[in-house]
Amino acid sequence: MKWAYNCFFLFFVFAAVACSSSRKVSSNVEPNATGLSTQIVSENIFHLPQIPENITSPEERGKFLVMHYWDRFDFNNERLISRPEITEQAFVDYIHILQNYVLFEDAKKSLQYTLTKMEENKAMHAYFASLFEKYLYEPDSPFRNEEFYLVVLERLIKSPLLSDAEKSKYKFQLRMAKKNRVGKKATNFDCTLATGETFSLYSIKSNYLLVIFLDPECSSCDAVIRYIMDSDPINRAMKMNSPTRTMLTVLTMYPGENIDKWLDYLPQLPSEWMNAYDQGMIIAKKNLYDVKAYPSLYLLDKNKKVILKDSPIEVVEGFFFVSP
């Protein structure tokens, strides 16, 4: 998968300057009388909205930008679908702004504005829907954000431009994305150890519980396991475990059917972790968790509420940099 994220906005809320890969800033930007930068109209660049001079605070400038980001983009020009250096890069810059420079409520309003604009053309609607899925939902995306994607899905399943068959895909994604959301209690499931001992997720007593859904044949799983084993913050948290208090427990969970391969894989996992499999394959059969790729990491609190959902290991590690 090729991701278009070559550059980002650094000072957009101050100068309304665009990213060079899709807009060629050096040759297409001129300062106006206020010292702010504006775009010269050209067929080969994405044109940012001009932020009014009387909007001076970074927060309000960011809000204005995301609410008018696509005003000068021609959604009826289907040729722009085949110009990823313009359209896809502009989309990536937009998502980056939403995630880093505006409040969540303003981001949701902006997403609704974008979803309305893209309905001007059926082909462009399909293209933008694919970009939203690629960048907000696919597991390897550096911009993955299910809370944003939920806003998109709620609109797509009601779109007059989609058939019932097309909507069914998004309805399924919506059901899965709503499962085990951050702040909600994780779904319980049974775990079976190699010894045959069975216990439930909810029975584990620990201030924090790191659940790793994995597969024995997953090379990325091996890399994440090694990363955790070498992580100072995570290991410091585990060293705080005592007979009277468990700070952090790591539970690896294999939801697949090839138990022999899982048993062969077990020696690669630390013995102090809880390493289990799903004996009845209930997780997969009932779609209890939205495991789109392995490994999939969830961090739960002592009440089994989700702190981090399907997060990169670096994000999990970062949590323990600041946690007691």
* Structural domain containing residue 25: 12-177
Q: Quote the pLDDT of residue 10.
A: 42
User: Tokens 């058939």 sit at which residue?
Assistant: 163
**Is the distance from CB of 281 to CB of 195 less than 8 angstroms?**
no
Mean pLDDT confidence for 5-17: 46
Hey, is 196 helix, strand or coil? coil
Helix, strand and coil content of the chain, in percent to the nearest 5, comes to: 45, 15, 45
Query: Does residue 185 lie within any of the structural domains?
Result: no
Alpha helices (H) along the chain: 12-15, 20-23, 25-28, 58-67, 87-100, 104-117, 122-136, 146-156, 164-177, 219-230, 232-239, 259-265, 282-285, 313-322
Task: Please give the pLDDT value at position 230.
Answer: 96
Last residue of one domain, picked from the residues 121, 146, 177:
177
- Pairwise pLDDT comparison (243 vs 28), residue with the higher score: 243
DSSP reduced 3-state for 238: helix
Beta-bridged to residue 277, according to DSSP, are 192, 254
- Domain at 310, CATH number: 3.40.30.10
Residue 4's pLDDT is: 63
Choose the final residue of a domain: 177, 203, 235. Answer: 177
Assigned domain for 232 exists:
yes
> Is residue 100 domain-shared with residue 125, that is, in the same domain?
yes
Take residue 91 and report the two structure tokens written for it.
Answer: 């989309």
22, pLDDT greater than 80: no
Assigned domain for 26 exists: yes
Same domain, 143 and 273: no
pLDDT of residue 42: 53
pLDDT of amino acid 29: 36
Helices and strands, number each (H, E), in the chain = 14, 9
Q: What is the pLDDT of residue 321?
A: 85
Check whether residue 37 and residue 173 sit in a common domain.
yes
Give the mean pLDDT of 79-105.
Answer: 96
Mean of the per-residue pLDDT values of the chain: 88
The single-letter code of the amino acid at 280 is G
% residues pLDDT > 70 (the chain) = 86
Residue-wise pLDDT tens digits, 168-216: 999 999 999 999 999 999 999 999 999 999 999 999 999 999 999 999 9
pLDDT digits (tens, 9 = 90+) for 29-79: 343 433 333 333 355 889 999 999 999 999 999 999 999 999 999 999 999
Given this model, what pLDDT does residue 140 score?
Answer: 86
C-alpha to C-alpha distance for 179 and 296, rounded to whole angstroms: 14
173 and 24 part of one domain: yes
Answer yes or no: do 211 and 291 share one domain: yes
pLDDT greater at residue 98 or residue 23:
98
